[in-house]
Amino acid sequence: MGEIVTVVMLKELNRALRFLLEVALILTLGYWGASTSLALTLRFFLGLALPLLAMLVWGLLVAPKARHRLVDPWRLLIELALFSLAALALWDRQFYLLAIALVALFLLNRLALSLWGQNTV
């Protein structure tokens, strides 16, 4: 009985990690856009436009209730592209360990989602 509870808790923690990774993706892109060396108006624009674009792509193609939700492997490729962009943004700002951690956590999370049949998340 205890093993079942542990597995259920791990699955829920994995779902929570997924949400936190999505938030980190959005915040990272916004931070990168706002911290470029461009003019203030362009930084403001990028700081808003990049996260909004990522949310739009996610909402249209990846989210569980997306109208045009892709199937794997296409959905995985979109997710990987978005998280890779966020990792590159962190790398560009010299947050090397955070960039590596973001990609590693994404890959572990995605693997667990697949193994536990949580692909609807």
- The predicted-structure confidence for 12-70, as pLDDT tens digits, reads as follows 999 999 999 999 999 999 999 999 888 888 999 999 999 999 999 999 999 988 889 99
Q: What is the pLDDT of residue 121?
A: 58
Tokens for 19?
């949400």
Assigned domain for 51 exists = yes
**For residue 15, what are its two tokens?**
């779902």
Structure tokens at 66: 């997306």
User: Nearest to residue 103, comparing CAs of 81, 118, 119?
Assistant: 81
Contacts of 64 (CB under 8 A, 6+ apart): 120, 121
23: its two tokens: 């938030």
Written as six digits, the tokens of 92 are 């560009």
For the residues 93-109, what does the mean pLDDT come to?
97
pLDDT of residue 7: 81
Position 84 pLDDT exceeds 90: yes
Domain that holds residue 31: 2-115
In a domain, 60, yes or no: yes
Q: Is residue 120 part of a domain?
A: no
* pLDDT top residue among 72 and 3: 72
Please give the model's pTM, rounded to 2 decimal places.
0.89
- Report the distance separating Cα 33 and Cα 42, nearest Å: 8
Residue 121 placed within a domain = no
**pLDDT number for residue 38:** 81
pLDDT for residue 1 is more than 70: no
In this prediction, residue 56 carries a pLDDT of 96
The number of distinct structural domains making up the chain is 1
Q: Is residue 97 part of a domain?
A: yes
Name residue 40's amino acid. L
